[in-house]
Structure 1
Amino acid sequence: MRIFKSKHFDKFARKERISDDTLRNAINDIENGLIDADLGSGVIKQRLPKQGRGKSKGYRSIIVYKFAEFSLFVYGFDKNDRANITADEEENFKAAAKTILAFSPEQIQQALDGKAFIEVSNEPIQQPGKCSDPRIDE
């Protein structure tokens, strides 16, 4: 399973100090059937915890997901800032997912080369309190 972040989501994750470990844990939950909300058409809404807090008042992420192949974090928001995405946003994510889920390996590589996608590190999950993402200062 390859895990990616969109350029937009990467900016959000860095600002909010969401580590690659947290993203890998979210995908691991999905792979184990612990899906917070399956919006259909390959789009999942998954909760992410805030540092030192639980998931309920944390972040929400929108993920384009293709079982056992790849996932792409496309959007994130703080639950304190907004309750949910709009119906129009949901439809836009589903339309984008239709295109993204059809990407060939070459198209994925082009998105990586063009910096539209950033691959989440495959390093082992670190001990609590340790962050494997070098862009996030402890």
Structure 2
Amino acid sequence: MMVYQTKTFARWAKKAGLQDTELYVAAQEVAAGRVEAKLGGNVYKKRVALPGGGKSGGSRTLIAIMKGKHSFYLYGFEKSERSNIKTNELSTLKSVAKVWLSMPAAGLKAALRAGEIKEVKQDE
């Protein structure tokens, strides 16, 4: 399964100190059904530990996944910054998820070249 992160998510993850390896493992856990919440529209909430901390007080990520194909990290926040996302934000993220998850391979390649998404590598 290919794992990607949007440009916006990648900026947040870098600032938060999250590494690709942690994100890749978390995406595999989501694919295996180990999630904190199923939000609908193939969007899931997944905890990811921040450097030097545990998952419970760390970060929350919203990831869209098409099992067996690919997944996209769409949004992230630290638990200390906010407790959850708003209903209208979730609605927008579900729409974004639908676009990414239905994009053909040629569209994904173009988005990678344009820097709109970035591949999450297992060993980085």
TM superposition score category, shorter chain reference = over 0.9
User: Which residue of structure 2 aligns with residue 96 of structure 1?
Assistant: 96
Larger radius of gyration: 1
User: Which residue of structure 2 aligns with residue 85 of structure 1?
Assistant: 85
In the TM superposition, residue 9 of structure 1 has moved relative to its aligned partner by 0.7
Q: Deviations over 1:32-91 (max 9, x none)?
A: 221111111111111110112111100001111110111111111000000000000010
Alignment partners' CA distance in 1, 2:85 and 2:116: 22
Higher helix residue share: 2
1:1-138 residue pairs with structure 2 within 5 A?
1-123=1-123, 132=124
Q: What SS does the corresponding residue of 1:101 show, helix, strand or coil?
A: helix
TM-score, normalised with respect to structure 1? 0.86
Alignment partners' CA distance in 1, 2:114 and 2:11: 16
Identity %: 31
Aligned-pair Cα RMSD in Å? 1.0
Unaligned runs of at least 5 residues, structure 2? none
State the 4+ residue runs in structure 1 displaced beyond 4 angstroms.
none
Q: Output the amino acid matched with 2:80.
A: N
Q: Output the amino acid matched with 2:6.
A: S
Aligned residues: 124
TM-score, normalised with respect to structure 2? 0.95
**Contact 2:31–2:65 (CA<8 Å) still a contact in 1?**
no
User: Which residue of structure 2 aligns with residue 135 of structure 1?
Assistant: none
**Contact 2:2–2:119 (CA<8 Å) still a contact in 1?**
yes
In the TM superposition, residue 13 of structure 1 has moved relative to its aligned partner by 0.9
Alignment partners' CA distance in 2, 1:51 and 1:6: 21
